[in-house]
């Protein structure tokens, strides 16, 4: 017998409640469950929240719906209305029902395991925890500071610049209160620092000019301790989101291995990982100029546009998916027709794992939204609906069809 069956049965009651289809007897069953425990009432409130339902609809919706349905029906024995009799309008209602079944099964299992009640007869699965705020700061003299271990407050000073880790954990560069403008070093004596995140890490920094940068996992940012002269220049490897402090007299440049972005003050995201097929620069507000480092091709972006820089050319994508581009910065994975290998590269960086493909793994595309602050097994729930299997072996994920 399916060990999850009692929870799936309860899920059916909640799904029918959402569609106003409960019989009198089923209503009594649901009421008895609600009155049995205050935790049940809290869980019921969450599972009948429209915002949660909308989020879960997108999370578990796979492009290959037919295969997803077959896998879910096999697992839950939930009957799907035949396609001939159904309409496209009925799909969300039945999808919501299935999602509730899966969600309540997972949620109740967690609740019982953490509350000390009798556990379900399911073997514990190996899992991998998500990344966190961690990075290494390399100073001009080569010394390194592990920021996740550093205490709040002042951690270093260089050339009348004080480097602190504030209460939120953000790295902040400021001119020392006792320093005068003439005491700041000239351009030729400016020294460089580097902030680097490992796989499974992310970090935020406030640069000397007030520019804020969010650095994604497996990335690095090289920058001066102060922006002297008539320009501001930094170097990026990996991915970062920039909120550049406005200064019309001192343009801000971000150089990657493939391109250079010039701005005066604006918000944008750059994805320049070496294992991606293109460097993508997405503009949220203001304007920027993107120039190829190989052939000198230049494009100007308006808000909502994305520059896709490949070996041969820079293409401009109008009406870019802004939410997808900055989802990582907002603590989300967002897949919108995203191919499996791209997803696995994201998981590899954030969960600090290697990925191995075994057999003939068909390239599939997925849609879904889920928090980055969950164990990797929850991401697998999106992908498994299309028949892909995952095994965790130490710090390696094995992918099979």
- What would the DSSP string read from start to end of 123-134? PPPP-----EE-
The reply to whether domains 132-324 and 331-400 share a CATH topology is no
pLDDT of residue 123: 37
Structure tokens that stand for 198 in this block: 């490992």
| Contacts of the segment 105-112: beta carbons below 8 A, 24+ positions apart | 105/4, 105/7, 105/8, 105/11, 106/378, 106/381, 107/43, 107/46, 107/47, 108/7, 108/10, 108/43, 109/7, 111/39, 111/43
CATH architecture for segment(s) 331-400: 3-Layer(bab) Sandwich (3.55)
pLDDT of residue 89: 47
**122 phi/psi in degrees, rounded to 5:** -130, 130
pLDDT of residue 121: 35
Query: CA-to-CA distance for 12 and 76, rounded, in angstroms?
Result: 10
User: What is the C-alpha end-to-end distance of the chain, expressed in Å?
Assistant: 26
Helices (H), 231-270: none
Query: CA-to-CA distance for 262 and 7, rounded, in angstroms?
Result: 55
189-198 b/e (C-beta count within 10 Å ≥ 16 → b): ebeebbbbbb
**320 phi/psi in degrees, rounded to 5:** -65, 155
**93 phi/psi in degrees, rounded to 5:** -65, -45
Cβ(374)–Cβ(106) under 8 Å? no
pLDDT of residue 311: 83
pLDDT of residue 37: 67
pLDDT of residue 124: 41
CATH architecture for segment(s) 132-324: Sandwich (2.60)
pLDDT of residue 13: 79
Per-residue pLDDT tens listing for the chain (401 residues): 445 566 667 777 777 777 777 888 888 788 788 777 666 777 777 667 655 555 555 555 544 555 655 665 555 554 444 444 444 444 455 555 555 555 555 555 555 555 444 333 333 447 899 999 999 999 999 999 999 888 899 999 887 889 999 988 999 998 877 655 555 566 557 889 999 999 999 999 999 999 999 999 999 999 999 998 899 999 999 999 999 999 989 999 999 999 999 998 899 999 999 999 999 999 999 999 999 999 899 999 999 999 999 988 999 999 999 999 999 999 999 998 899 999 999 999 999 999 999 988 888 888 888 889 989 988 887 787 777 889 999 999 999 98
Structure tokens that stand for 4 in this block: 């999850």
Kindly list the domain boundaries of the chain, sorted by start residue: 5-115, 132-324, 331-400
pTM to 2 decimals?
0.73
């Amino acid at each position: 017998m399916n060990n999850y069956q009692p929870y799936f049965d309860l899920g059916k009651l909640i799904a029918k409640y959402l569609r106003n289809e409960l019989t009198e007897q089923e209503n009594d069953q649901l009421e008895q469950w609600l009155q049995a425990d205050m935790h049940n009432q809290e869980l019921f409130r969450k599972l009948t929240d429209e915002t949660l339902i909308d989020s879960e609809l997108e999370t578990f919706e796979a492009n290959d719906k037919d295969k997803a349905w077959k896998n879910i029906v096999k697992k839950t024995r939930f009957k799907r209305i035949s396609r001939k009799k159904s309409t496209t309008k009925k799909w969300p209602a039945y999808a919501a029902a299935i999602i509730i079944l899966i969600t309540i099964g997972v949620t109740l299992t967690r609740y019982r395991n953490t509350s000390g009640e009798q556990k379900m007869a399911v073997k514990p699965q190996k899992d991998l925890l998500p990344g966190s705020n961690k990075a290494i700061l390399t100073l001009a003299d080569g010394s390194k500071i592990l920021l996740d271990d550093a205490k709040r407050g002042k951690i270093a000073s260089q050339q009348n610049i004080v480097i602190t880790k504030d209460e939120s954990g953000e790295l902040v560069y400021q001119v020392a209160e006792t320093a005068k403008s003439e005491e700041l070093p000239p351009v030729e004596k400016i020294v460089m620092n580097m902030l680097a995140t490992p796989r499974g890490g992310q970090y935020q920094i406030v640069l000397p000019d007030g520019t804020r940068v969010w650095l994604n996992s497996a990335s690095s940012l090289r920058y001066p301790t102060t922006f002297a002269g008539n320009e501001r220049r930094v170097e990026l490897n990996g991915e970062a989101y920039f909120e550049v402090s406005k200064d019309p007299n001192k343009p801000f440049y971000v150089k990657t291995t493939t391109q250079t972005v010039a701005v005066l003050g604006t918000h944008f995201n750059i994805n320049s990982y070496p294992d991606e097929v293109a460097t993508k620069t997405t503009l949220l507000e203001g304007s920027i100029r993107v120039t190829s480092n190989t052939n000198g091709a230049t494009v100007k972006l308006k808000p909502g546009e994305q520059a896709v820089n490949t070996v041969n050319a820079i293409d401009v994508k109008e009406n870019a998916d802004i939410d997808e581009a900055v989802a990582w910065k907002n603590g989300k994975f967002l897949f919108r027709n995203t191919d499996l290998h791209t997803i696995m590269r994201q998981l590899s960086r954030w969960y600090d794992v290697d990925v191995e493909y075994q057999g003939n793994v068909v390239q599939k595309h997925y849609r879904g939204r889920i928090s980055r602050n969950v164990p990797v097994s929850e991401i697998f729930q999106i992908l498994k609906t299309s028949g892909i299997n995952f095994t965790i072996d130490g710090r390696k994920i094995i992918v099979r069809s």
